[in-house]
Structure 1
Amino acid sequence: MANKPKIHDYKSLNNVVTRIRSDLKDFDYVLLFAYNGTGKTRLSMEFKESAKKKGSGKDTLYFNAFTEDLFYWNNDLQGDTDRHLVVNSESAFFSGFKELALEEKIFAYLERYADFDFRIDYEKWQVRFSRDREDNIKVSRGEQNLFIWCMFLAICELVVDAHVSYAWVKNIYIDDPISSLDDNNAIAVANDLARLLKSGKGKIKAIVSTHHGLFFNVIVNELKHHNTKVHFYHRATGTDTYTLRGTDETPFFHHVATLGELKKAVEGDEIYTYHFNMLRSIMEKTALFFGSKDFSSCIHGLDDEVLYARALNLLSHGKYSVYEPREMVADTKELFKKIYSEFIERYRFELPEITGQQEAAK
């Protein structure tokens, strides 16, 4: 469907970091889509450490799997009544945190995702949770991750506002903030993150990496008009070569990942109304690529063209339909499957060959 852009090969994570830092000289945001097992978390740590290696000191506030390790549970195995989350206050993540009392900022985010409350003991660095009238509850893994994420967003607000406690932060690096979250919260997380980053108007650079097609689709759509560079990041199994492919060089390339999410939804018969939004978004990009201004060109000439267009217009209405997630009734599911199947039949999307050597490894 298009001339394939060059695939840039790198012999080490450090070389990938060099490329990303170079991108940040020209772009405010760098977005990476990568499958699990390609070293996304190691890349985020290598990026963080690279500034120290050059002697310029720390410059990156990061959120990744190691961030979640800054918190661990005391389950009160003896009394089974005083369960609380313990915070590793030695991390730079919590610079000036005690003096700032961020509960209000944290809760402003948390109430969008969850129905529990929390209280931070800054003397003992402990967090206790409550729900309804029950105190010291142990929240689920997903709820815990949401709380940590909301704490991170509250800190990012301080970074964007140039608070003195976080004046050292020049970059924010976020790797897969959605572990253990369902699709609905994944969309909400992407929305909140994009809104926060845009509020900084490029004053703070940001890198976001993820394996989650839906999350990636939302964050790309939100930031695509805000000086953003988008890459497909990959490391073939059994090799030490890392590849970057600029997906903004190939229209809608990253939407192939979203098609994978839709395929999974169709095969699992777990289809929600917001999947119509995702499918329409892909059709719009496809139509633009072929010179048409309207997604309807993607279904033009099909036997049920009018019905398909009406369904895509009606059921993709609204921003992402995430705050009212509704599973489709059986008839609507079958309609979605037909539209999806005929679209895929017409446009035979394939992932590019990413193991070929198109440039000498750097």
Structure 2
Amino acid sequence: MSGKPKIHPFSNMQKLVTRLRDDLTSGNQDFVLLYAYNGTGKTRLSMEFKEAGKRNNNMKPDTLYFNAFTEDLFSWDNDLEHDNERRFRINSDSRFFKGLRDLALEERIGDYLARYADFLFDIDYDNWTISFRKDEASHIKISRGEENIFIWCIFMAICERMIDGAESYAWVKYIYIDDPISSLDDNNAIAVASDLAKMLHRAKSRTKKETVSGIERTIPDPIKTVLSTHHALFFNVVCNELKKEAHKKYFLHRPDRGTAYTLRATDDVPFFHHVAMLAEVQKAASDGKLYTYHFNMLRSIMEKTATFFGRDDFSSCIHGVEDEVLYARALNLLSHGKYAIYQPMEMVEDTKKLFRDILSAFLIKYQFALPDMLETIPAVASAPNPASVPEEILAP
């Protein structure tokens, strides 16, 4: 036997969710940890997991989630008329905030916030607004990164009260967390991951008291968790903190960005994902289905390769072409700006040839063992000939 981790295919997201829930129930896992790069559909997966719980439970929810929709429960009132009393509004209709007023969370929110930021806050429950202050300034506007970390602190405080047995959240059986951090430096990413792991350990160890035949006893009442993220450092820290717990780690992949998914169980997930990206890029180059976002993917792969070899810049990984500086400039320009994964445009033929030349030279220099989750692509046999470079690259 080769010992290679098995790849599990799923024809749609619903079947993938069934597998994740099975891991947590019949599989007796406390956690499922998913690593997936952006554009895989992690947010939609978290919502489908939530909806599956409702379908299985007579339309009663069983999942408390944190994702992009959680952040949308807050909005800014920037006081456009006077421009001096900016407030963060709470959508109090959401079940997420049920019991928020009664649980007195300010102190716990503040404890978490003090670890990551240096501003303070005040909650007005009558008007369901939050104001922020720093030093002598009040009603300040905080940055998007600070806004995200504040919302995360609210979520963590709610989870703590839920673990303690707050009646308002007695319906929660699962937690689903998708990409909880944004715009954090590495130190804060490590701190957030460590704090989260400690909270998840408490959640899986939760107990409750029950009385049977007049005798009170304590029984397990765990809350189980799915975590998905594209942040390698964050994922690594959580994995290390939970390594002694019952859990599954997967690399989540969506081949060709279609409706099918694959899960690959591996202990080397954070370092494996860029190899899977390379397999997808090579397949796109072979099929001729090249879009501008493939430049972003190729640049990311080269950056990780350069880092591995201790080099300062991805351009050091461009070899075997007539003008390596020019090719590096082309890749740099074409992997920014409008060439985004969320606004895909098919490359023109000259740009496709340029892409294939850069990729071919890279694969000749660095011999990767590509995963079998994609169709086998014929190996590149020889170095490319000099390509014609698009006019926008040649322009000063």
Give me the TM-score of the superposition, normalised by structure 1. Answer: 0.72
Comparing 3-12 with 85-94, which one deviates more in the overlay? 3-12
Q: Deviations over 1:4-59 (max 9, x none)?
A: 22211111111000000000011000000001111100000000011112244100
1:44 aligned onto 2:46: yes
Comparing 125-134 with 194-203, which one deviates more in the overlay? 194-203
Q: Corresponding residue for 1:231?
A: 250
- Report if the CA contact (8 A) 1:217-1:255 is conserved: no
Give secondary structure in 1 for the equivalent of 2:101: helix
Q: d(CA) in 2 for partners of 1:21 and 1:162?
A: 23
State the shift of 1:351 in Å.
Answer: 5.7
Q: Corresponding residue for 2:226?
A: 207
- Report if the CA contact (8 A) 1:213-1:258 is conserved: no
Q: d(CA) in 1 for partners of 2:370 and 2:95?
A: 40
Aligned pair in 2 of structure 1 residues 95, 263: CA closer, same or farther (>3 Å)?
Answer: farther
- Report if the CA contact (8 A) 2:35-2:269 is conserved: no
Aligned pair in 2 of structure 1 residues 209, 89: CA closer, same or farther (>3 Å)?
Answer: same
Q: Corresponding residue for 1:216?
A: 235
1:124 aligned onto 2:156: no
State the shift of 1:354 in Å.
Answer: 2.4
Mapping 1:1-362, distance limit 5 Å:
3-25=3-25, 26-56=28-58, 57-202=60-205, 203-247=222-266, 251-256=267-272, 263=305, 352-356=371-375
Aligned pair in 2 of structure 1 residues 169, 81: CA closer, same or farther (>3 Å)?
Answer: same
Give 2:258's aligned amino acid.
T
In structure 2, the gaps of 5 or more residues are: 206-221, 276-300, 314-365, 377-396
Identity of aligned residues (%): 56
Aligned pair in 2 of structure 1 residues 135, 258: CA closer, same or farther (>3 Å)?
Answer: farther
In structure 1, the gaps of 5 or more residues are: 270-346, 358-362
Q: d(CA) in 1 for partners of 2:311 and 2:132?
A: 38
Q: d(CA) in 2 for partners of 1:190 and 1:90?
A: 29
Give secondary structure in 1 for the equivalent of 2:262: strand
Q: d(CA) in 2 for partners of 1:125 and 1:268?
A: 49
- Report if the CA contact (8 A) 1:256-1:349 is conserved: no
Q: Deviations over 1:282-336 (max 9, x none)?
A: xxxxxxxxxxxxxxxxxxxxxxxxxxxxxxxxxxxxxxxxxxxxxxxxxxxxxxx
Give secondary structure in 2 for the equivalent of 1:48: helix
Give secondary structure in 2 for the equivalent of 1:230: strand
Q: d(CA) in 2 for partners of 1:257 and 1:238?
A: 15
- Report if the CA contact (8 A) 2:36-2:273 is conserved: no
Question: Higher relative contact order by CA 8 Å / sep ≥ 6: 1 or 2?
Answer: 1
Q: d(CA) in 1 for partners of 2:87 and 2:306?
A: 37
**Higher Cα radius of gyration:** 2
Q: d(CA) in 1 for partners of 2:173 and 2:367?
A: 42
- Report if the CA contact (8 A) 1:217-1:258 is conserved: no
State the shift of 1:256 in Å.
Answer: 3.6
Give me the TM-score of the superposition, normalised by structure 2. Answer: 0.66
Q: d(CA) in 1 for partners of 2:86 and 2:149?
A: 18
Give secondary structure in 1 for the equivalent of 2:76: strand
Aligned pair in 2 of structure 1 residues 121, 252: CA closer, same or farther (>3 Å)?
Answer: same
Q: d(CA) in 2 for partners of 1:235 and 1:214?
A: 22
Q: d(CA) in 1 for partners of 2:128 and 2:312?
A: 43
Q: Deviations over 1:72-108 (max 9, x none)?
A: 1011111000101000011111111111120000000
State the shift of 1:255 in Å.
Answer: 3.8
Q: d(CA) in 1 for partners of 2:272 and 2:11?
A: 26
Give 1:11's aligned amino acid.
S
Aligned pair in 2 of structure 1 residues 201, 258: CA closer, same or farther (>3 Å)?
Answer: farther
